[in-house]
Amino acid sequence: MNTDNVADWTFYNSCYRHGVDEKRRVQVPAKWRPEGEGAEFTLIVWPKEKVGACLRVLPPKEMVELLQTIDQMPNTDPNKTVLKRVIGSKSAQVAVDKAGRICLPEEMARAAGITNEAMLVGLLDRFEIWSPQRYRQIEVTDNVLAQEAFKLME
């Protein structure tokens, strides 16, 4: 990990529960918002969890790193094309508006089970948007696995 310009980094930590308005807009915490007019995030319907999909939110730097990781896979690996196709078709660029909100595309919100409330969950270098019900389920699983996971930090 390159630690140059640490002062310029954004750390996505903590959890926030926000309402989702009738236009599917959700507030992004001020400290998580990218700087500059026209700043965007990439939203990806992330199907990895048994409880159901969430929306993985990548800042531009993390999206570039994801693309580089996929591009490093051998061209003979059929998973490379599958990942490109699925991520490409189930992702969208979303701009942060002047009020600090992003609009969740309808199909993506539906896939993630997000209706009138959302949990924004920090993953340190990115964040996820969950339906509160699905997040409660994944939080139970995370709490069970955390003790073992933290052993990796020793």
CATH of the domain at 94: 3.40.1550.20
Residue 1 lies in a domain: no
3-state secondary structure string, 48-85?
A: CCCCCCEEEEECHHHHHHHHHHHHCCCCCCHHHHHHHH
Q: For residue 20, what are the β-bridge partners?
A: 26
* Cα distance between residue 40 and residue 123, in whole Å: 18
Nearest to 46 by CA among 57, 35, 32: 57
* Domain assignment of residue 25, given as a range: 8-151
Is pTM beyond 0.75 here?
A: yes
pLDDT at residue 31 greater than cutoff 90: yes
Q: What is the pLDDT of residue 77?
A: 94
Q: What is the pLDDT of residue 6?
A: 58
Residue 15 lies in a domain: yes
Domain count, the chain: 1
Q: Are 34 and 41 in contact (CB under 8 A)?
A: yes
Residue 142 lies in a domain: yes
Half-sphere exposure in the Cβ direction for 92 (13 Å, CA): 13
What's the mean pLDDT when you consider all of the chain?
Answer: 90
